[in-house]
Amino acid sequence: MEYINAIETIPYVPEIIIPEESIAEKHFITANTIAGNLIEMKEHHLIPVFSKDNEPTISHTDFIETVLELTADIYSGEHILKPIVRLSHPIKGRVPEAKNKAANELFEWEKTIYYERMAFAIEIPSIQAEVDGNILSLTVGGVKSYSLDNLYSKTQSDQHFKIYIGFKNKVCCNMCVWTDGFMGDVKVKNLEQLSAIISTLLRSYNSSYHLYHLEQLTKYSITEQQFAQLIGRCRMYPHLPNSIKADLPPLLFGDQMMASVVKDFYRDESFCRDANGNINLWKLYNLFTGANKSSYIDSFLDRSVNAYYLVEQIRYGLESRNNSWYLN
């Protein structure tokens, strides 16, 4: 595994670096994505422009490199892995000289491409914690979807980004993200503004506070009957009258994802129910974040945060003995 060392004099610690085969088997997001190569993206992918004046947008690689530079600065001395990039929704084209060729006759140099949507994760494996026997490592990243930008506006409009800092569960590559480490609707006009917002998020994030709340999930469990109640309520949620739904926090998980949660409740090697049919809320949370890996890039982070707050509602209900709507 290649990595970037923020300070060259800091000794390399091999035991905390994830083996290459682990990364090959598991990804923080799957869905319809492919792996991206930062060098290839920088040298060969087109950069969309604002059509009115042909001004370039902030490219995927500019976004990634800005986060990487700020991460190396703020977490100076830590081991920082190279970004893992996932891409989707390719926008294909061709050079003018090949305009009359059939697609199967095109040479590689005649093809052009960029990807509308991109997500990336930068892991800092030297900053670790353990929750319920799972090793977590600090991870920084973001999401960019050009579909959210108005590239055809009469004036240069805001560009939209999502950025996060949280923890990645090494046993499954699930992302543990919550609101304090997430900005879901960052609007900027230039790279300087984006850099300032990223810096603010990274410097204000309290990892100890986040870990404390994750640890609390291990202290509460639900029975198989309560799990069945939860799944039923989650499937009822989209069809509730608006008057009822208005009083409940939004739920962003659909039927297909709930089916994945149910399957893994029985079959997942790391997070399934115990011998008595019970499951603690940390494992339940990981069932939801695992199902979330099938999300499209543009909804991935929002659902990551939503997974935490759904389970946190359940935890609060169990703690206060005032059941939430999902277990009522």
Q: Taking the chain, what is the end-to-end CA distance rounded to the nearest angstrom?
A: 47
Report the pLDDT averaged over residues 84-108: 91
Domain boundary among 180, 205, 230: 205
Q: Which domain holds residue 283?
A: 220-327
Write down the pLDDT at residue 2: 41
pLDDT greater at residue 20 or residue 202: 202
Asked if residue 65 and residue 8 are part of one domain, the reply reads yes
Cβ pair 95, 112 in contact under 8 A: yes
Share of the chain above pLDDT 90, in %: 77
Q: Which pLDDT score is estimated for 154?
A: 66
Tens of pLDDT, residue by residue over 98-139, are: 888 899 888 888 899 999 999 999 999 999 999 999 999 999
Residue with tokens 């976004």: 63
Q: Are 327 and 198 in contact (CB under 8 A)?
A: no
**Does one domain contain both 122 and 238?**
no
Q: Which of 252, 305, 315 is nearest to 282 (CA)?
A: 315
pLDDT at 1 over 60: no
Alpha-carbon span 55 to 60, nearest angstrom: 15
CA distance 5 to 122: 13
The total number of structural domains in the chain stands at 2
DSSP H stretches of helix in the chain? 20-25, 38-44, 60-74, 191-204, 207-216, 224-236, 242-245, 255-267, 281-291, 297-320
> What residues are paired with 130 via a beta bridge?
135
The string of pLDDT tens digits covering residues 136-154 is 999 999 999 999 999 887 6
- Residue 210 counted as domain residue: no
pLDDT (0 to 100) of residue 153: 76
The candidate with the shortest Cα–Cα distance to 85, out of 55, 109, 110, 59, is: 59
By CB neighbour count within 10 A (0-12 exposed, 13-18 middle, 19+ buried), where does 5 fall?
middle
Contact 135, 171 (CB under 8 A): yes
71 and 137 in a single domain? The answer is yes
For residues 17-25, give the mean pLDDT: 39
Of 205, 237, 266, the last residue of a domain is: 205
Is the pLDDT assigned to residue 21 strictly greater than 70? no
**CA contacts within 13 A on the Cβ side of 64:** 23
If you average pLDDT over residues 287-311, what whole number do you get?
Answer: 96
C-alpha–C-alpha distance, residues 115 and 242, integer Å: 37
Same domain flag for 132 and 29: yes
In a domain, 227, yes or no: yes
DSSP secondary structure string for all residues of 145-166: EGGGS-TT-SS---EEEEEEEE
Determine what percent of the chain falls in helix, strand and coil, rounding each to the nearest 5: 45, 25, 30
Q: How far is it, in rounded angstroms, from Cα 305 to Cα 291?
A: 13
The pLDDT-based confidence of 3 (bands split at 50, 70, 90) is very low
Confidence class for position 155, pLDDT limits 50, 70, 90: low
For residues 273 and 312, what is the distance between their CA atoms, to the nearest angstrom? 19
- Could you report the per-residue pLDDT of 27-67, keeping only the tens digit for each? 899 888 999 999 999 999 999 998 888 889 999 999 999 99
Same domain, 196 and 236: no
Domain co-membership, 150 together with 19: yes
217, 281 Cβ separation under 8 angstroms? yes
**What is the distance between the alpha carbons of residues 318 and 221, in angstroms, rounded to a whole number?**
9
DSSP 258: H
Q: What pairs with residue 5 in β-bridges?
A: 79
| Res 291 pLDDT > 80 | yes
Q: Give the mean model confidence (pLDDT) for residues 183-202.
A: 97
Let me know: does 288 contact 311? Beta carbons within 8 Å.
yes
- Quick one: 64 and 171 in the same domain? yes
% pLDDT > 70, the chain: 92
Torsion of CA 116, 122, 128, 132, to 10 degrees: 20
Q: Are residues 103 and 248 in the same domain?
A: no
pLDDT score of 227: 97
> What one-character DSSP code corresponds to residue 123?
E
pLDDT value at residue 158:
93
Average pLDDT, the chain: 90
Q: Is 80 exceeded by the pLDDT of residue 166?
A: yes
- Helices 281-291/297-320 angle, 10° precision: 160
Diameter over CA atoms, the chain:
71
- pLDDT (0 to 100) of residue 8: 33
Query: 157 and 268, same structural domain?
Result: no
Asked if residue 23 has pLDDT above 80, the reply is no
Question: Would you state the pLDDT for residue 7?
Answer: 33
Copy the structure tokens of residue 219: 């202290």
Q: What is the pLDDT of residues 231-290, one digit of tens each?
A: 999 999 999 999 999 989 899 999 999 999 999 999 999 999 999 999 999 999 999 999
Measure CA 207 to chain center: 17
Task: Please check whether residues 25 and 109 belong to one and the same domain.
Answer: yes
